Amino acid sequence: AQSVAQPEDQVNVAEGNPLTVKCTYSVSGNPYLFWYVQYPNRGLQFLLKYITGDNLVKGSYGFEAEFNKSQTSFHLKKPSALVSDSALYFCAVRGRDTDKLIFGTGTRLQVFP
Amino acid sequence: GAVVSQHPSWVICKSGTSVKIECRSLDFQATTMFWYRQFPKQSLMLMATSNEGSKATYEQGVEKDKFLINHASLTLSTLTVTSAHPEDSSFYICSARGLRGWNNEQFFGPGTRLTVL
């Protein structure tokens, strides 16, 4: 069965420091991988996706993620965090033979001034 | 581009009444729309997938007679919560995928918060 794990409920980082939000997945074959961000009482905003090709994917607002097939991970990173990055981040996976997105449980990112 | 709207953004209703939530793709045609439910501090759980002009496909454990989904056009899907009860209170989010097939990511609406008294 397909699954996504976000091992950290919350990540705290000081403004200006690099941030990492972890995601690992379990899916057969080569998956599509996504990161979304959710602000309070809002829907999800797409950040980036991995389909194929270069393992380092660059997305919106300076975020990037690295696909690591051997570790089945797709960690979200940003070199320098902003207070405005504080939000709930979801990793999601979709198998190549399905149109269903499977979401992780989310990681709350808190960036302190 | 790729904007999805939901209406209403929030609704409060009495137990036993029905509530309709609309999901619209504003600038693209959506052959497939998805309905999710999100409980506080939890992830999104897919409720059903609807394709324009056909019956929705419900996930295991979701009552299709309670959560009626209609996808009558390429830009509109509706979710009706029938005979709502307090346990149906939740944040409902729709998403839409365009005509170009599975490689297109889903675009999400802003969500509808339902509170059943």
- As a whole number of angstroms, the distance between CA A13 and CA A66 comes to 20
Question: What whole-number distance in Å separates Cα of residue B114 and Cα of residue B117?
Answer: 10
A37: β partners? A45, A89
**Percent residues over pLDDT 70 in chain A:** 100
Give mean pLDDT, residues B33-46: 88
Give me the amino acid identity at B74: L
Query: pLDDT class for A31, splitting at 50, 70, 90?
Result: confident
Percent of the residues in chain B that have a pLDDT greater than 70, as a whole number? 94
Kindly indicate the confidence band of residue B3, based on its pLDDT and cuts at 50, 70 and 90: confident
Q: Is a pLDDT exceeding 90 seen at residue B41?
A: no
Instruction: Count the residues in chain B.
Output: 117
Task: Please indicate whether, in this complex, the C-beta atoms of A100 and B49 are within 8 angstroms of each other.
Answer: yes
User: B47-88, pLDDT tens digit by residue?
Assistant: 999 988 888 999 999 999 999 999 888 899 999 999 999 999
Token representation of residue A14: 């000081």
Conformation bin of residue A32: beta by default, left when phi > 0, alpha when psi is -120 to 50: beta
In chain A, residues with a C-beta closer than 8 Å to the C-beta of B41 are: 106
Q: Please report which confidence band the pLDDT of residue B103 belongs to, taking 50, 70 and 90 as the band edges.
A: low
Tokens of B110: 């802003």
Distance, CA of A106 to CA of A4 (rounded, Å)? 10
Instruction: For residue B29, name the pLDDT band (cuts at 50, 70, 90).
Output: confident
Shortest Cα distance from B112 to chain A (angstroms)?
Answer: 9
Pairwise CB contact (< 8 Å): A106 & B49: no
**How large a percentage of chain B has pLDDT more than 90?**
68
How far is residue A20's CA from residue A4's CA, in Å, rounded to a whole number? 16
Q: Taking all residues of chain B, what is their mean pLDDT, rounded to a whole number? A: 90
